[in-house]
Amino acid sequence: MARILIDLPEHFLFSTEVPIYITHINKAQHLDNAALIALLSEARVRFFRSFGYDELDVEGVGIVVADAALQYKSEAFHGETLVFSMAPADFNKYGFDLMWRVADKASGREVARGKMGILFFDYAAKRAAGIPEAFRAKIGTPAIVA
């Protein structure tokens, strides 16, 4: 079976800390994979809020997570605090990849890495929308020239 390999950017634009609660732990006594996805959703919401946005209103349009990929690097355990670092990459007309890395705060041990495909979406029209230029300017990414 081919393994997913994810290359991360050298620098991250945003980071946030989230503690691991007992409800995030599975029968094997480590972070449950479904819990990691939920924690990533929390970190993604915080990423957009750090720029003053709600996921349903980024300059008048919303976002959808169109796809996701992750690669586990080590276990994480109850009581640890995880640092979620995020950076946008690979912009196209309708979205970008939100690259992320999760590490234990105390040791720096990498727990997981991955990406989420972020698609801008016009919920009223029920279709993909172009990346708002004001969003692009706010996060410091140049416009795509067609």
Q: How far apart are the C-alpha atoms of 36 and 33, rounded to whole Å? A: 5
Report which secondary-structure segment, H or E, holds 87: strand 81-89
- pLDDT tens per residue, range 100-121: 999 999 999 999 999 999 999 9
Q: Which residue has the higher pLDDT, 3 or 99?
A: 99
- pLDDT tens per residue, range 17-45: 999 999 999 999 999 999 999 999 999 99
Question: What does the pLDDT average to over 83-89?
Answer: 97
Torsion angles phi and psi, residue 83, rounded to 5: -105, 120
Closest CA to 6 of 102, 94, 75: 102
pLDDT greater than 80 at residue 142: no
Q: How far apart are the C-alpha atoms of 34 and 114, rounded to whole Å? A: 14
Q: Are 54 and 135 in contact (CB under 8 A)?
A: no
CA distances from 50 to 31, 53, 86 (A): 26, 7, 12
| Residue 146, pLDDT score | 47
